[in-house]
Amino acid sequence: MSQKKPYVILTRTLPDSIETRMRELFDARLNEIDEALSQEALIEAVKLADVLVPTVTDRIDAELISKAGDQLKLIASFGTGVDHIDLAAARQRGITVTNTPGVLTEDTADVAMALMLAVPRRIAEGDKRARSGSWQGWSPTGMLGHRINGKRLGIIGMGRIGEAIARRARGFGLSIHYHNRKAVHPETEAELEATYWESLDQMLSRVDIVCVNCPHTPATHQLLSRERLALMRPSAYLVNTSRGEIVDEEALADLLAEKQIAGAGLDVYSDEPNIPQGLIDLPNVVLLPHIGSATIEGRLEMGDKVIINIQTFWDGHTPPDRVIEAML
């Protein structure tokens, strides 16, 4: 590649130290107001940039990629998921795509575990009552929830995050069940004392907590359909820190309202930042604003990965976090 500094356009504000390093290494254009770029601004960006640094909220679809200038050779996404990027369109234009895998594993697993505790133990309801002034003091039957110790956890997608959640859950006395495209390594399965279910339907009907951790792909779009959600026990809980599009949110709200599912803890939604009113109105749902990866440490590590991917690519080598469609 050329020795000139690549013209890098960031679509959102990143941590100061990351932006400073990018300015030192590249000809970087920052987004100082930290608002999502309009479609017109994104079109301008792909026409001008050598490298685009989008986030998971930017839709980099085939139409946008078709408007890119010939100089755009790398989309270095600031995030793990790549369902917001049309990988086939990028490949056809000869544009390499990278992401930031691995660094968000522990942070996302922490939030999933927090939701697993918060929903059965009615933490959000309790906080609201304590602040409202309506609390009349301790009562033997007040704010009764359910313990998670001794329950079965069903993990959908046993990748890095799924395994990290399983390790945490075992510490809380949960037994581990999982559904995956294939069983994990026997040593990992033995370590976690995990039970593999080839049939998702069979697992859903048997576990007490369902935790969604698979990526959003065409194959997993609304994987938890109304029919599948209806297989869950009335005493079961759903936790989703992956992608909102994997769950039929309308069906979930209906089943929660009808007490066919006991509760849900959600950090992601299909049309962010919009959350279905049917979910907002329910007391047995804990809603978070997509904070699964929101730690200072995680954001800095993500930024470091973006910088390494850009520098490696610009030096003429394959970036370490290149996204390959066939491996998703």
pLDDT tens digits, residue range 220-249?
A: 999 999 999 999 999 999 999 999 999 999
Amino acid (one-letter) located at 10: L
The length of the chain in residues reads 328
Q: What percent of the chain has pLDDT over 70?
A: 98
CATH number, domain 7-103+295-327: 3.40.50.720
Does the structure show a pLDDT above 50 at 1?
A: no
Does the structure show a pLDDT above 50 at 285?
A: yes
Q: What confidence tens digit (pLDDT) does each residue in 88-126 have?
A: 999 999 999 999 999 999 999 999 999 999 999 999 999
CA distance 108 to 80: 11
Largest pairwise CA distance in the chain: 72
Q: What confidence tens digit (pLDDT) does each residue in 153-162 have?
A: 999 999 999 9
Angle at 162 between CA 161 and CA 168, to 5 degrees: 90
Helix (H, G, I), strand (E, B) or coil at 42: helix
Mean pLDDT of all residues in 77-81: 94
pLDDT band at 178 (very low <50, low <70, confident <90, very high): very high
* Cα-based distances in Å from 100 to 40, 57, 74, 283: 26, 15, 14, 35
Does the structure show a pLDDT above 90 at 133?
A: yes
Mean pLDDT of all residues in 64-88: 96
Does the structure show a pLDDT above 80 at 2?
A: no
Residues of the chain with CATH 3.40.50.720: 7-103+295-327, 105-287
Q: For residue 98, give the H/E element and its range.
A: strand 96-98
HSE-up (13 A, CA, CB side) for residue 293: 22
CATH number of 105-287: 2.40.100.10, 3.40.50.720, 1.10.3720.10, 3.40.50.300?
3.40.50.720
Catalytic residues: 243, 272, 290
